[in-house]
Amino acid sequence: MAQHHLIIAPEDPGFDDLCRRLAERANELDFSGQWPGEQLRELGKAGVYRWFVPTEWGGFGWSESQLVQGYIRLGAACLTTAFILTQRSGAVRRIVECSNETAKRELLPALVEGSAFATVGISHLTTSRRHLAKPVLQVWQSEDGFVLDGYSPWVTGGAHANTVVIGATLDDGRQVLLALPTSLPGVHALPHSQLVGLTASHTGRFDCNKVHVGRQWLLDGPSQNVMAGRGGTKTGGLQTSALAVGLATAAIEFLEHESEQRADLAEPTANLRSELESVQRQLVDLAAGNAACSSDDLRRRANSLVLRATQAALAAAKGSGYLANHPAGRWCREALFFLVWSCPQPVMAANLCELAGLLG
């Protein structure tokens, strides 16, 4: 059996090989829209899933700054694979941080080794469908647990998951977070949506038709705002900015390669590189607890940079960049994702003002 190199630090040389293999298949993945099962298996073989888990559960216990650096590299290689990883790691983190030792023992070993897949269904508690009078996913307490009824509008890889860490709302407004086994009767992942980019993430609606969930799968709650109940469980955090920086990195590296033969690209490329390094430094510092700016301000800067860098790459590629098999067009489509993915209202407002020419 082939030996697989476990990546135990962002600077590990095995990381370069992993990222190269992911990048080589990114365009094909975008064309096919197929679930990147092989890419995800490669992450498991490289030990990537161990990054997010403490050593007492068999993980590497990477720091937040290490995780940010890892996400940047993976985002530059294949945004679809990196995005799926954020949803998987979000589920794992919520299991790790809960006080339910039974759920941890049942779920974490297989998730650490990569033989199981988990994802999250929480957008309806944070940024999606919150304007509706009736919660889209309701829950009732039963004698031995809970009954889920409704749907989660945006679940990544729901049809491939063994577990969905899902949030739901009680009649009194309190919320719960459950580790939902997808094998339970009444659980159904609808056919995934066709997206502008990242269709291969198989993101779409996830239905629960009066699903009975045992109390042993309760991770948090009932509480008024279950997503704010524990540190490190916020959505749309630094990982989102890290992936934006990663995608911007891919576009800027393309520009740098092109500028070796075209002097007209040198100055704008150098300016984008300087901005990229500034945003990346602030991101790593913020992850390490050295806050020079707020996470919202950093998200705004990362969004702006990735949109401009990818469009600059398309402009530099000229007509070739508009061909379906050129990565520049894919990068532009993928960059649009950051305008809608867990985007806080202040960030969205700032991005709109910039697009309308109201900033600067």
| Identity of the amino acid at 303 | N
SS3 315: helix
Rounded Cα distance between 71 and 78, Å, is 10
Residue 237 pLDDT > 70: yes
pLDDT at residue 213 in the model: 98
Average pLDDT, the chain: 92
pTM here is 0.94
In whole angstroms, what is the distance from residue 86 CA to residue 89 CA?
5
Give the Å distances, CA to CA, from 284 to 144, 305, 349.
Answer: 44, 16, 25
Q: Residue type at 33?
A: G
pLDDT tens, 52-85? 999 999 999 999 999 999 999 999 999 999 999 9
Q: Give the single-character DSSP code of 252.
A: H
pLDDT tops 70 at residue 241: yes
**Judging by DSSP bridges, how do beta strands 145-156 and 137-141 pair with one another?**
antiparallel
How many residues does the structure list for the chain? Answer: 360
- Which has the minimum average pLDDT: 141-150, 205-214, 220-229, 254-263? 220-229
- Assign 234 a pLDDT band (cuts: 50, 70, 90): very low
Statement: residue 100 has pLDDT above 60: yes
Residue 225: pLDDT band (50, 70, 90) is: confident
Strands (E), the chain: 118-121, 137-141, 145-156, 163-169, 175-181, 187-189, 203-214, 218-223
What pLDDT sits at residue 78?
98
Q: How many CB atoms lie within 10 A of CB 183?
A: 8
* pLDDT tier at 9, thresholds 50, 70, 90: confident
Residue 128 pLDDT: 52
- pLDDT tens per residue across span 148-169: 999 999 999 999 999 999 999 9
How far, in Å, CA of 265 to CA of 157, rounded?
A: 39
One-letter amino acid at 62 equals W
Q: How confident is the model at residue 1 (pLDDT cuts 50, 70, 90)?
A: very low
| Mean pLDDT across 79-96 | 97
Average pLDDT in the 198-210 region? 97
Q: Is-contact 181 166, C-beta < 8 A?
A: no
Pair of tokens at residue 339:
């305008």
Euclidean distance between CA atoms 249 and 270, whole angstroms: 12
Q: Is the peptide bond before 222 cis (omega within 30 degrees of 0)?
A: yes
pLDDT in tens, 121-153: 998 887 554 445 688 999 999 999 999 999 999
**What SS3 state is found at 150?**
strand
At 232 the pLDDT is 41
Q: What is the mean pLDDT of residues 91-102?
A: 96
